[in-house]
Structure formats: structure tokens, C-alpha cells
Amino acid sequence: MATVAIPPSSARKDTILSRRYIEGQIAEGKHVIIFDGRVLKVDAWINFHPGGDKSIKHMVGRDATDEINALHSKEARQRMLSYQVGRIQGPWLNFLPPIHGGKFRPYTEEPCLTDEESSGLETSAPPSPIFDAVDGKTGACRRKTSAATDTSVSTPVNEKAESKPFFLDARTQEEIDFDTAKYPSLDMKNQEFIKRKYRELDQKIRAEGLYQCNYFSYFVECCRYALFVTLSYILLQWGWYASSAFFLGCFWHQLVFTAHDAGHMGITHNFHVDSVIGMVIADYLGGLSLGWWKRSHNVHHIVTNEPEHDPDIEHMPFFAVSHRFFNSLRSTYYDRVMKFDAASRVLLRYQNYLYYPILMLARFNLYRLSWEYLLLGQAPKKGPAWWHRWFEFAGQVFFWYWFGYGVLYCTIPDWSSRFTFIMVSHIVTSPLHLQITLSHFAMSTADMGVRESFPQKMLRTTMDVDCPTWLDFVHGGLQFQAIHHLYPRLPRHNLRRAQKLVLEFCKDTGIPYAIFTFYDGNKEVLGKLGDVAKQLRLLEECRKSCAEQGVLLDQH
């Protein structure tokens, strides 16, 4: 009997895997991603990932090199190599991940195309109800080629697309055409050039020592925190409840910036140390879950401004930053349909007027999301973050003891004063929510396909806010969101210094760098919300007219 030599583990890891084989692995439900020319199968790790499983699922079938480098430490990247199962040759053409609706052929199935033909495919993608013509005989879609999408796969239609007025389809195409003209071409050569320049930029930032945390800046921050909390305590004892609440709100507002840094491992760069710092600040002092924020925020950094996937722009029925929300999209993050219901039809018509009032109450929604995360068991149960949930539970009990019982119940004598204290302290934190939405709400939500590089996508969907240096403490570094999205682990006190290098990168690559003053940025956001509200009013008028004339809406 002939014996079969089994190559050693190291040799198997260096085996060149074909695109067709990798597609077959994904078709079997495997979580396969590409990192620095290596093929990683991370099924054994996904339940241990401290950032949750969603961020990994969005990278399946894609070259995640830049996303992984941006969001993970050198030690974490080194540990990932233990999941290597092979290598690829040459640039990788991304698949559309299954969580996005990508369809994959089993490796054992007789392929419709030869391996040579399939190697040129961009993605295994579901049909688009907007841009794909349906063949009435075969039930297959013939996808049109554009700058954003390019594939010749025929995919069966599994579900009937929800019908909608033709002008919404035209609006979607208009947004894609606008971004196609404004931003660099999505051809592989150009995007590979952008990736190379982006990695060179990272080396320049490291050479200038910008990844080194400025701890003196945190000393100054701690002095500011101590001032606010001391003033709040003294005024509380004097019975000046509204004034005390104001400074407590300032304390919470400032603390969030440091919790944000800790969540990105931007303080000590040690996972456990920064996690404890972040949880003490967020849970014990602020009543918010750092774990919930990290789970949500990691996804936001990968699928920025994608209506179906980015939780940071999914605020139905209060806000819609795109007309695509009118189609009752299914959120892959919340795993539910964001219904375009009667409440949405009323609130979204006036969303540009309700923008500031709703943001004033946003902190109350964060309490809800935090408890939902902890009570529903969304926190990691295995891996290095298994204990975080219990540490956060203790933090929540501690917070509501000192704030709810110690301050509100024991110190403030009557319910009217308690209500005033709660509202003032929470409304004072609203500039934080304004800052977060300001950098994204006005930016593109167009789907440019899987060919777009990570740095181009971040700069296309994020804008910076220009302000004088002396106001940096008010914005907390969040005014440099575009730079932060390019390099999330860059300490925020160094973001202003990194801006010059990013501007040079944008000039070299031809990617527009969006930056507005605080005033103009607010105008952009209100204009975007007003434009979507106008589209909704037009949609309602169209439906009303069709109903009166007895015409079905989907009959174009």
C-alpha cells in the first residue's frame, strides 16, 4: 500500500490556495479572511474575539490587511497567524461577505465558470433590485457593469425585492455617480496605489513617534476632571442643584473622551490595562457599558456609513441619513428590520428640526443599549474579555448606588429638584453626541462596492471639524474623526500633529479631505437631514397621488 506524505504544519500554512477553493470554504460556512497575503480561517477564534463576532463577519472573503493593522496591536496581529491555513498569490479581489448577502458556490459543485474566469470576479453578490435586470425565463439577474460593481455571476433571485418609486432608484444611482466622479477610480491598480501610500503614511507616523501616548496631557485632563467633580460636589452640598448638575455633566462629557481612548487601546496600548481604565470611567463613573460601545464601535469603523450595517447611523424612527431607510432595511448589527412605519413617516419629515432636541436626550438611550448588551448576554463569554461583563455589572451597580441612591435620593430633597438635576446633567453631555453625528451624518452613504480601499472609504464617509487649538478640550479629539478612522489607535493628543501628514497623503492620492468649521459642519448635517426629509415628503405625495388615481406604486 502506498503511503501518503503529510506535509508539516508550517508547509501547509504556506500552501497557495486558489480563489475558487477559498470561495468553497466560505460556502461551507467557514470564516475566511485575507491578511497580508495569508489566508486565515478564524472559526475557532470568533467566539473569543473581544470585539464581538460582527466585525469579523464583515471581513469574510475580503483582504482585511488594512482594517486589521488599523484596529489591532502588534501582539494581536501576531496571534492571528496561528489561524493561517495557506497563502494567496498577487492582489486579492474581494468577495461580498455573506453577512452582506454574498452568495458562494460549494467547491465540490460543478462551477458555472472556469477557475480562470472566476479568478477575475469581484464578488459573489446577490442581485440588486435597483441595477440588475431579471431574466424572465431563468429567474437570473444580469448585473450591469459600473465603476462600483463588476461581476458576471448570475445569481438566482431568492426574494422579491420591495417595490419603491423609481425616483428613489434614480437618487441611489445619482449618489453613486457623484462619488464615482469625485473620488479616485476604483480600478485595482489605483486602489493598490492608495493602499501602498496609506501604509507608507503609517510608517511616517510611527517615525515621528505619534503612536507614543502623551501622558502629561492626561495629567492636565485629570486636573480638569477633578475640578468639575469638586465643583459639582460643593454646589450639591450648598443646595445649588442645577449648577451642581451642570458641572457633573461637564465631568461626564470630558470623561467619555478618555474612555474612547481606552476602548481603542490608545493609552497604555495594553489590552487589560486600557480595558480596566475604560470600564472604570464608562461604567463606574458614567453608567454606560464600555463593552457595548466597543462591540458597536468596532463594526462602525469597518462598515462606516453603510445604512444596512453601521449601527452609528441606524436611528430609526428618529433619523434617516439616506432615503434607503424608506425601504425598511434589515440591520445586520441589530439583526432586525428597521421598520419604516407610521412613526417614521411623521418624525423623519421634521428630522432636521428635531435634530438638536433629540440629541439632548441621547444619553438616556445609551443607558438602554448598555443594559440590553449586559442583560442579553451580548458580551464575550470566552477569551481574554470573558470577565468584562461581570466587572461591568459591578460598575453599573456602583454607579446607580452613588448617583441614583446617594445623589438623587439621599441628597436632593424633592422630586422637582431631582428631575431638574437629571435633565441638566444629561443635556450638558449632548455636545458629545453632536460631535459624533457631525462627522458622519453629512457624508456619503453610497455603496461603492468591495473594490474600494479602506483608506478611501474612511475619507469618503467621514469629515473633520476645524477648530482652534485652545478648543481641542471641548471636542476631545473627536473633531479629527477622519484621521481617527484612518488610524484608530493613534493617541488623540497627537491627531492634530498627524493632520499635516494626512493632508499630504490626500494630495498624493487625489482623495478629497473633508473638513468644515463647526458652524459649517452643522449646516451640512442639517442640510442632509432636510434633504432626506424632503425626499420623504415627495414619496408621500407620490403615494397619495397613486392611491387617488388607483395606480400601484411599483408600476413604473
User: What domains can be seen in the chain, in order of their start residue?
Assistant: 10-95 (3.10.120.10), 213-447 (no CATH)
Buried b (16+ CB within 10 A) or exposed e, 218-249: beebeeebeebbebbeebbeeeebebbbbbbb
In angstroms, the CA 78 to CA 102 distance is 29
Helices (H) and strands (E) in the chain, counts: 23, 9
- Indicate the SS3 state at residue 502: helix
**How much is the pLDDT for 216?**
94
Predicted TM-score of the model (pTM): 0.86
Report helix, strand and coil shares of the chain as percent, to nearest 5: 55, 5, 35
Average pLDDT over all residues of the chain: 87
In angstroms, the CA 209 to CA 334 distance is 39
Q: Which residue has the cell 489566508?
A: 39
Successive 10-residue mean pLDDT values, the chain, 556 residues: 51 89 95 96 91 93 96 91 94 95 82 44 41 36 37 35 58 90 94 97 96 94 96 97 98 95 93 95 96 94 96 95 93 94 94 96 95 92 92 97 96 96 96 91 94 96 94 90 96 95 97 96 96 91 76 50
- Indicate the SS3 state at residue 330: strand
Q: Using omega within 30 degrees of 0 as the cis cutoff, is the peptide bond preceding 317 cis?
A: yes
Query: Which residues share a beta bridge with 516?
Result: 465
CB contact set of 89 (below 8 Å; sequence gap of 6+): 16
In angstroms, the CA 113 to CA 376 distance is 45
In angstroms, the CA 481 to CA 460 distance is 12
- Alpha-helical (H) ranges within 93-238 are 115-118, 166-182, 188-207, 215-238
In angstroms, the CA 225 to CA 113 distance is 63
**How much is the pLDDT for 158?**
35
Say if residue 58 is exposed, middle or buried (CB neighbours under 10 Å; 0-12, 13-18, 19+).
buried
Helix axes 430-438, 362-375, angle to 10 degrees: 80
Distances (CA, A) of 108 to 22, 28, 71, 335: 12, 11, 36, 31
The amino acid that residue 55 corresponds to is S
In angstroms, the CA 115 to CA 239 distance is 76
**How much is the pLDDT for 68?**
95
Residue (of 262, 369, 360, 367) closest to 314 by Cα position? 369
In angstroms, the CA 250 to CA 310 distance is 28
In angstroms, the CA 348 to CA 528 distance is 12
